[in-house]
């Protein structure tokens, strides 16, 4: 009997927690958005990015695919290796 009472109480508590989180979802998200923005504003500023050119192998693959497309053929994986 106590086991059944414990299971019912567990479901009741779980339901109460889920209902509370659903009810308070918007204020929680708003608080997290404010905190996230504050952290992002106080952090270091990005000053650009590093440009890494594509490897020559990738350019050769794209060229091979373009040639095969112009000829109306499919490009196999073996051709790209």
- Note the pTM of the prediction, 2 decimals: 0.39
Would you state the pLDDT for residue 44? 67
- Number of domains comprising the chain: 2
CB-neighbour burial class of residue 80 (10 A; exposed 0-12, middle 13-18, buried 19+):
middle
pLDDT (0 to 100) of residue 80: 76
Q: What is the rounded CA–CA span in Å between residue 58 and residue 81? A: 10
Q: Are residues 41 and 66 in the same domain?
A: no
What residues in the chain have per-residue pLDDT under 50?
A: none
Q: Do residues 30 and 58 both lie within one domain?
A: no
Q: Are residues 5 and 41 part of one domain?
A: yes
Structure tokens at 17: 């927690």
Q: Which two tokens stand for residue 22?
A: 């659903």
Same domain, 12 and 44: yes
| Domain co-membership, 37 together with 1 | yes
Domain span at 64: 50-81
pLDDT tens by residue, 7-19:
999 999 999 999 9
pLDDT at 46 (0 to 100): 66
Asked if residue 60 lies in contact with residue 53, where contact means CB atoms within 8 angstroms, the answer is: no
Same domain, 1 and 26: yes
């Amino acid at each position: 009997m106590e086991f059944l009472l414990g299971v019912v109480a567990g479901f009741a508590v779980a339901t109460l927690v889920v209902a509370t989180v659903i009810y308070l979802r918007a204020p929680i998200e708003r608080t997290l958005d404010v905190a996230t923005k504050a952290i992002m504003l106080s952090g270091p500023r990005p000053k650009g990015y590093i440009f890494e050119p594509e490897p020559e192998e990738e350019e050769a693959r794209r060229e091979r695919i373009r040639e095969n497309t112009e000829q109306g053929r499919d490009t196999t994986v073996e051709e790209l290796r």
